[in-house]
Chain A
Amino acid sequence: MSFVTATDIFQSYGQRPILERVNVAVDEGEFISIVGASGCGKSTFLRLLLAQERPTRGEIRVAGAEPAVEPGLDRGVVFQRYSVFPHMTVRENIVAGESFRMPWGRFFGPRRRAANERADEVLARIGLSHVADQYPATLSGGMQQRLAIGQALAAKPRILLLDEPFGALDPGTRLSMHEFLTELRAETRMTVFMVTHDLEEGFKLGDRVLVFDKERWDPQEPNAYGATITYDFDARDGGMPFQRLLDQFPALAAQARQ
C-alpha cells in the first residue's frame, strides 16, 4: 500500500479543465520533483495535495485515510513567498510551528520555556541562531526560506510540500539551499513533493521526477484539455537508477559474467 495515492484526479476551474486523469502512487520517504511548463497545473496539483482545493473528481489519500477537506497538521508547506509570519521574530516563528495547534496559539509557563529551547536547537541546526530575535524582513531571501522550512518541520508533518521554494533565490544561495534540504532529508526521511521549473534542480534533489503536460492539444482551443503526468522518471543516482544495479545484486553480476 502506497503512502500517498492520487486516483483519477480531474480538476477544472469553471469550464476550463486544468488536470485530467492524474494517477500517481508515492511511497513513504520518497522525494518527488514536479516539473512542467508554466500553467501546466503543477501548482494546482500541489494545492490538491495540500487540500487547499478539492478535486472536481477523484481523490487523494494519505496513508489510507479519508481525503482531507482542508489543510492540516499532516501536510507542511513552504511557498515561494509569504511562508513566514512578518510580525513574529525568527524564534517566535519556529515556536509557532508547535504552538499554533494550541487553543490560544501559544504556550504558557514552563512549556513556553521548553518550546523556546527546542526552537533554539532548530535555529542552531538551520544556522539562524545569530538572528533569533530579529524580524523576518531583516533576513535575506535564502535565510527566510530556511526559516520557513524549519518552521514547517517544527510542526512534524508527514508530508512536506514545497512550491517553487527556491524560485526567488540567486544561483549561489540556491545551491546552498539544495545542500541544506538534502541534509535535512537525510535526517528526517520525510516524504517531500517539490514543484520547480528548474529541471536540473528537480533531477538533483528528487528520487522521482513527475512531468506535467497536456497529452491532447487543440490548436483552435488551447484550453480545451487539461494536463496530466506524461513522464515519471526514476531520478535516483543522477537519473540513471540501474547504472549500479550489478553492484547492488552481486549474484546477478556473477550470472552476467558467465
Chain B
Amino acid sequence: MRLINRQPGVAFRAALIAVPFVLVVLAYMTGSAIRLAENPQDKLLPSISTIAATAERLFTEPDRRSETILLWRDTAASLVRLAWGVGISAVLATILGLLIGLLPHVRAGLASFVAVVSMIPPLSVLPILFIVFGLGETSKVVLIVVGILPFMTRDLSARVAEIPREMIVKAETLGASSRVIALRVALPQVLPRLIQSVRLSLGPAWLFLIAAEAIASQEGLGYRIFLVRRFLAMDVILTYVLWITLIAFLMDMTLRWLSRRLFPWTEASL
C-alpha cells in the first residue's frame, strides 16, 4: 500500500500528535539537568519545577510596589493593543477589499499602491511612527495596522475579484444596485475569508506588538520579556512565552469555531 494512502488509527494519531511536544520537553529537561549538574546557579536553562514555581508566583502574587499582578496587567495592556490593531485592520481591509474588488475605478487607483505599500518592511517605519504618534498607545496600534493591513487588503480584494462574474451578473438581472451587490453578494462571501485572513495575520500582529512594546512601553507582555532579559530571568521569559503561545492558540481556535458557527454554508455540501 502506498504511503499516501496509509492512515494512522485513533490511538496512534493521538500518540503522533504528542510526540513532538514530548520530544521538545524531554530535550529541554535533559539540557537543563546537564547544566544544573555542572552549576546549580545556572540561569540559562532553569528546571521545569523552577519555571512552574515562577509561573505560579507571576500569576498569583501582586507586585510589591504597584500592588497589582503584573502578568495580568501586561496581558490586558497587550490584548487591548492587539484588539485595536487587528480590529481596525479588519474593518479597513473589508471596506478597501470590497471597493478594490468591485469598482474598476478604485482598483485602477489603489491596487498598485497597496501592492507597493505592502512591500515596506513595517519595522523600518517604526521610528517614524514613534516620532509622529509619540511613544503612547497610538504608535503601537498603528504599527500593527501598518504591518497587517496591506496583506489583508490584498487578500480580501483578490477574494472579491474571484467571485464568479456570473453571480454578479445574476444579481444585476435581479435589479441589484452596486451597493446591494457589495452588501448582499460580495460581503457575505468574503466574511469567511476575512476570518481566515485575521487568523493568518495574528502571527505578524503579535510580532509587531512585541517589537513595539520592547522598544518603548510601560507595560505589556513584550515589554516585560525584554525588561527581565537584563536579569537573565529565563524562568520569567519562558513563562511569558508559553502564556503568549497559549493566548494565540486560543484566539486561533476561537476564530476557527466562529467561522464554522457563523458561516454554515461554507461547509454545507452533499
Q: Which of B111-119, B163-171, B246-254 participates in binding chain A?
A: B163-171
Interface locus among B45-53, B126-134, B172-180, B216-224? B172-180
Q: Is B265 located at the chain interface by the 8 A CB criterion?
A: yes
Instruction: Name the distance in Å between A49's Cβ and chain B's nearest Cβ.
Output: 11
Q: Which residues of A contact B263 (CB under 8 A)?
A: 87
A54 within 8 A of B: no
- With an 8 A cutoff between CB atoms, is B189 at the interface? yes
Given contacts A81-B166, A87-B263, contact A135 B268 (CB under 8 A): yes
Find the residue from A71, A106, A148 having the highest chain B CB count within 10 A.
A71
Give residues 21-76 of B contacting A (CB, 8 Å): none
**Least CB distance, A169 to chain B, in whole angstroms:** 15
B269 close to A138 (CB less than 8 A) = yes
Are A155 and B173 in contact, with the CB atoms below 8 A?
yes
Looking at chain A's contact residues, the main secondary structure is loop
Interface of B is mostly: helix
Size of interface on A: residues with Cβ below 8 Å to B: 37
Task: Decide yes or no: A70 and B172 within 8 Å by CB, A86-B189, A105-B180, A106-B184 being known contacts.
Answer: yes
Question: Is the CB–CB distance between B174 and A100 below 8 Å?
Answer: yes
In contact, B166 and A73 (Cβ under 8 angstroms): no
Query: For chain B residues 139-188, which have a beta carbon within 8 Å of chain A?
Result: 164, 166-167, 169-177, 179-180, 183-185, 188
Q: Which residue of chain A has its CB nearest to the CB of B164?
A: A82
Size category of the binding interface on chain B: 20 to 34
Q: Cβ of A79 and Cβ of B173 under 8 Å apart?
A: no
Q: Are B169 and A50 in contact (CB-based, < 8 A)?
A: yes
Interface string of B94-110 (1 = CB under 8 A from A): 00000000000000000
Asked whether A140 is an interface residue with its Cβ less than 8 Å from the other chain, the reply is yes
Please, which residues of chain A bring their CB within 8 A of the CB of B189?
Answer: 86-87
Asked whether any CB of chain B lies closer than 8 Å to the CB of A52, the reply is yes
Q: Are A79 and B170 in contact (CB under 8 A)?
A: yes
Which A residue's beta carbon lies closest to that of B192?
A: A87
B268 and A134 within 8 A (CB): yes
Is B270 an interface residue, CB under 8 A from the partner?
yes
- Chain A neighbourhood of B264, CB < 8 A: 135
Minimum CB–CB distance for B192 against chain A, Å: 9
A104 within 8 A of B: yes
Shortest beta-carbon contacts, A-B, top 7:
A101-B175, A105-B180, A100-B176, A82-B164, A71-B172, A100-B174, A82-B166
B interface residues (Cβ-Cβ under 8 A, vs A): 164, 166-167, 169-177, 179-180, 183-185, 188-189, 263-265, 268-270
